[in-house]
Structure 1
Amino acid sequence: MSRQVSRDTSPELAVRRLLHASGQRYRLHRPVPGHPRRTIDIAFPGLKIAVFLDGCFWHGCPEHATQPKANAQWWRVKLDRNIARDAETSKSLTEAGWTVLRFWEHEDPADVAARIAEVTRERRSSAPSRH
């Protein structure tokens, strides 16, 4: 497991390239408020938008998740804990006023980037003016 890439995955890099090319500016791997060991994959702190790009295996994708046969009980507990942690993180951020966007690694990066851009536009247009 220590060899598993946890950040800067191919899907994450593809989405980030598209966001940057479209003029979006963001922060990477920001700590989740109240949970210092957890990080937001792509954060728009001023707009309070948190983006997570979840791996199908590690986060329990309903389409692509697999169940290891070796040491099955241990893996089931581990993966269930990951899913519960994701839910807790989303809830914590939402309660703190953040918009949480979660995407699966298999989703088309262009679609993901378009959805993120849409939410940032909506958030900017509804934000009070700073004048």
Structure 2
Amino acid sequence: MRAIKRVDTKPELELRSALHRRGHRFRKDFRIDTEQRRARPDVVFTKQKVCIFIDGCFWHSCPIHGRRPTVNQAYWTPKLTRNSDRDRATNDALVAEGWIVIRIWEHVELAAATDRIERALADRAAGGPAMQSSVIQVE
């Protein structure tokens, strides 16, 4: 478990690089303290209050690619359930504080993910539908 990277994973690096190429500036692994909990999104647009999490299919139980290990189920089942519960609690805490939370599965095509982030940023800037705090799941 020590070998599992928390930051700078391949999908995260690719997304940050694509956003940077499109002219966006952001914070990476920026800590956000809310009243209920602390969060460390992968990419944060502080001025717009938009944060992005890139979720791994295995670790966050992707409905398409996630799988339950067949070995040591007594350990893995509660572990993966806790991860999903923590994700929901983090979403709720951030939305309560006015953030837009975007969760992107690692298998999502890079262009689609980047386009969805840009739409959310544009809507927030224009006061459109994404002006309200919400959770956007990119599948």
Give the structure-1-normalised TM-score: 0.91
Gaps of 5+ in 1: none
Residue 6 of structure 1: CA displacement? 1.7
Mapped partners of 1:110, 1:33: distance in 2: 30
What residue number does 1:13 align with? Answer: 13
Aligned to 1:50: 51
Structure 2: stretches of 5+ with no match in the other structure: 129-139
Give the ranges of 4+ consecutive aligned residues of structure 1 lying more than 6 Å apart after TM superposition: none
Distance 1:57 1:110 in 2: 22
Superposition CA RMSD, Å = 1.3
- Tell whether the 8 Å contact from 1:32 to 1:89 is kept in structure 2 after alignment: no
RCO comparison, higher one (Cα < 8 Å, 6+): 1
Partner of 1:106: 107
Structure 2 counterparts to residues 1-131 of structure 1, below 5 A:
1-34=1-34, 35-36=37-38, 38-126=39-127
Greater Cα shift, 100-109 or 117-126:
117-126
SS at match of 2:6: coil
1:112 and 1:75 map into 2 onto residues whose CA distance is 29
Aligned-partner Cα distance in 1 for 2:32–2:3: 24
Q: TM-score, normalised by structure 2?
A: 0.86
Matched length: 126
- Of 9-18 and 49-58, the range deviating more from structure 2: 9-18
Which residue in 1 is equivalent to 2:137? none
Identity of aligned residues (%): 37
Q: What is the CA–CA distance in structure 2 between the aligned matches of 1:10 and 1:55, rounded to whole Å? A: 10
Shift of 1:100: 0.5
Give the superposition deviation at 1:31.
1.2
